[in-house]
Amino acid sequence: MRMLINVPETVVADALRGIAAAHPELTVDVENRVIVRRDAPVAGKVALVSGGGSGHEPLHGGFVGPGMLSAACPGEVFTSPVPDQMVRAAAAVDSGAGVLFVVKNYTGDVLNFDMAAELAEDEGVQVAKVLVNDDVAVTDSLYTAGRRGTGATLFVEKIAGAAAEEGQPLDRVAAVARQVNDNARSFGVALSACTTPAKGSPTFDLPPGELELGIGIHGEPGRERRPMMTSREIADFAVHAVLEDLNPRNPVLVLVNGMGATPLLELYGFNAEVQRVLAERGVAVARTLVGNYVTSLDMAGASVTLCQVDEELLRLWDAPVKTPALRWGM
């Protein structure tokens, strides 16, 4: 096993200490596994809290800061955080205006955030929840009932975060988050399996010369396996799968996301093919983001997320943001 780690048992704690050292604008509680923007709570502002298993960085801790999340709760690798983390995060960021939980549709995340919402409300915190379920590849998987939550999480957290930053009330921020999720779809492709520190070997078997179409961010199986395809062929398959479900009438935000081990050279080349397919289908592109944002440890591959936007959603997307992984306008 070749990994830049000490021992598997301390991988998450070590990473949190590194985040704290690199980003003094964040308050990082290594022991309790909570990352909070240092100026929280912000008076009169709805707070956004999200979280999930580690191994998907920069999701979610890398999206904590002005214009996006107020706090994030990292679990163990590919393991949901526990309700105590979420309650602690909600208490740390609540200004009295309420807290929105952004939850990816994985069974552990859903159950634990539901429990945390009840506990937080018992402590006087008003909580709303939005479920992200954008993956069109499969309906049910080992980890989910219904569609998986993947790349659209970034769009939800950014756009709803901008609405909260403007001082919009909790019901409106939650409605914006749901609108983004309802208008976003994703499809992912794996060229290699990922390796968790605890296991020390690939999490699934993907023979040389094959790829998995519709892979999940934990290595869950997709629609089918095929012999290796060109970037052009993969873009045709992935974008058509998304458009079959989304059928956008307005311009779209495009996220071409790396799964962790795919170089930017390849991702930009893949983006060129994605843009070609969209142009051929007559889909207008409002903005494009390319890079590693919702990853799966060292998996090679990519995902495509499209989000249909109106003028208001686009304005909120363009609003200033300042987090470790996403920043503009500040």
Catalytic residue annotation = 56, 218
Which of 172, 130, 159 is closest to 69 using CA atoms? 159
Angle (CA) 74 161 91, round 5°:
55
Cis peptide before 83 (omega within 30 of 0): no
264-280 helix and 231-246 helix, angle to the nearest 10 degrees: 50
HEC sequence for 49-117:
EEEEEECCCCCCHHHECCCCECEEEEEEECCCCCHHHHHHHHHHHCCCCCEEEEEECCHHHHHHHHHHH
DSSP 8-state assignment for residue 10: G
DSSP 8-state assignment for residue 25: T
Q: Which two tokens stand for residue 147?
A: 């569609």
Judging by DSSP bridges, how do beta strands 184-190 and 210-213 pair with one another?
A: antiparallel
Q: What is the CA radius of gyration of the chain?
A: 19
Which of 320, 242, 326 is closest to 290 using CA atoms? 326
Sign of the Cα pseudo-torsion (16, 19, 21, 27, in order)? negative
Q: Which two tokens stand for residue 146?
A: 């219904």
The helix (run of H) or strand (run of E) holding residue 122 is: helix 107-122
State the DSSP string of 180-208: HHHTEEEEEEESS--B-TTT-SBSS---T
Distance CA 36, CA 19 (A): 12
E strand map for 133-262 = 184-190, 210-213, 224-227, 252-258
